[in-house]
Amino acid sequence: MKDIMILGIESSCDETSVAIVKNGRQVLTNTINTQIEIHKQFGGVVPEIASRKHIENISNVTKIALKDANISFKDIDAVACTYGPGLVGALLVGVGYAKALSYALDKPLVGVNHIEGHIAGNYITFPELEPPFLCLVISGGHTHLIYIRDYTEFEILGKTRDDAIGEAYDKVARVIGLEYPGGPKIDKLAKDGKAEITLPETYFDNLDFSFSGIKTAVLNLNHKQPDINKADLCASFEKATTDMLINNTQKAVKAIKVNKIALAGGVSANSYIRQRFKKLGEEMNIRVYYPEIKLCTDNAAMIASAGYYNFIKGKISGLDLNAVPNLKIGEN
């Protein structure tokens, strides 16, 4: 079969990224221009600044990607871009650029759901991984437990009713004086602490999550006891939030009888979470997958991979593709 080369574009938040991926799994390049240094000074992503930086950078990032992969536009079979969920102004830059490329090169356009992209990060790290499997998507914007029935067929089993887990990590980090993005800083500091502070965990009858209660509890505790040991607080926060993730995942595994669990999204880079899921896998005798660190946070290789599976299923977008900031998964 002929090789299929997808050019992927990601611009949903604060990373401008362009990747070239062969046959959905082989990354020729995954060029990422991150705006973290810019948004750091504001303690979080400023949407308007993000859009402006994307528009400034996208052509250059594409040029670098093609050079790195040592290919030219004519070698590409389709252009895939994230069209949601995400920040609308940021998404529009990637969508607009992808449409222009698709039109000028006369190549198909494939709109990709960002969450599908995160899931596909695992296909790149594990070339042998195939659906069906259970995937826990944990990022700055999402906390979803999803049954991956097939490459483009998804069933939501549970999701957060309020904050995404990464949002809670970033907020907790901010109040204890750690820089944006807070997740990696909490990960590091927690290693020096003891998880001995009791924090509230929220459970429902179904597989939904809630992280606003624990977030508020940590904020209040830190306010009332400014001298509280920050490393202990981080370790306790990590433990309690991971308990909630593990509880629902375990319930889902039992309910749908899968033998593979994948983690995805920025928060899946967390070393404590990875260690707890590894242990869960051993206890339940199931295989646990998580993407290599650079494929956990936002990048275009995962978008190109998800784009490939849509492309081979004939799921092509028209030139009227628009950004959908609140795009859902498993409903379209």
Site residues, Zn ion (CB under 5 A)? 139, 298
Per partner kind, with CB cut-offs from 5 to 8 A, the member of Zn ion, ligand KG4, none near residue 108 is none
State the SS3 of 20-54.
EEECCCEEEEEEEEECHHHHHCCCCCCHHHHHHHH
Which residues, listed in sequence order, are joined to residue 317 by a DSSP beta bridge? 109
Which of the residues 152 through 171 are near ligand KG4 (CB under 6 A)? Answer: 166, 169-170
Binds ligand KG4 (CB under 6 A): choice among 5, 13, 58, 195:
13
Sole residue written with tokens 């670098």: 64
Q: Within 13 A of 5's CA, how many CA atoms are on the CB side?
A: 15
> 162, 158, 160, 139: which is closest to 147 by C-alpha?
158
Rounded Cα–Cα distance for residues 168 and 131 (Å): 30
Region near ligand KG4 per CB under 6 A, out of 43-51, 90-98, 261-269, 280-288: 261-269
Cis before 85 (ω within 30): yes
Helix (H, G, I), strand (E, B) or coil at 210: coil
Beta carbon nearer to ligand KG4, 170 or 208: 170
Beta carbon nearer to ligand KG4, 96 or 183: 183
Beta carbon nearer to Zn ion, 166 or 193: 166
For 38: left if phi > 0, alpha if psi spans -120 to 50, otherwise beta; the answer is alpha
Rounded to a whole number of angstroms, the minimum distance from the CB of residue 170 to ligand KG4 is 5
Burial of 126 (0-12, 13-18, 19+ CB in 10 A): middle
Region near ligand KG4 per CB under 6 A, out of 32-40, 87-95, 135-143, 221-229: 135-143
Rounded Cα–Cα distance for residues 295 and 308 (Å): 16
Decide: is 297 part of the binding site for ligand KG4 (CB under 6 A): yes
Rounded to a whole number of angstroms, the minimum distance from the CB of residue 234 to Zn ion is 22
Order across the sheet with 5-10: list the strands: 26-34, 15-22, 5-10, 78-84, 109-113
Decide: is 141 part of the binding site for ligand KG4 (CB under 6 A): yes
Q: Within 13 A of 138's CA, how many CA atoms are on the CB side?
A: 29
Beta carbon nearer to ligand KG4, 158 or 291: 291
User: How many chain residues touch ligand KG4 (CB under 6 A)?
Assistant: 19
Which of the residues 169 through 198 are near ligand KG4 (CB under 6 A)? Answer: 169-170, 181-184, 187
Region near ligand KG4 per CB under 6 A, out of 22-30, 54-62, 225-233, 262-270: 262-270
Decide: is 10 part of the binding site for ligand KG4 (CB under 6 A): no
Sole residue written with tokens 């998507």: 137
Give just the sign of the alpha carbon dihedral 64, 66, 72, 76: negative
Beta carbon nearer to ligand KG4, 97 or 169: 169
Which of the residues 298 through 327 are near ligand KG4 (CB under 6 A)? Answer: 298
Beta carbon nearer to ligand KG4, 84 or 182: 182
Decide: is 94 part of the binding site for ligand KG4 (CB under 6 A): no
Beta carbon nearer to Zn ion, 211 or 239: 211
Binds ligand KG4 (CB under 6 A): choice among 82, 270, 310, 317:
270
Question: Could you count the other beta carbons within 10 Å of the beta carbon of residue 275?
Answer: 11
Rounded to a whole number of angstroms, the minimum distance from the CB of residue 139 to Zn ion is 5
- Residues near ligand KG4 (CB under 6 A): 13, 139-141, 166, 169-170, 181-184, 187, 265-267, 269-270, 297-298
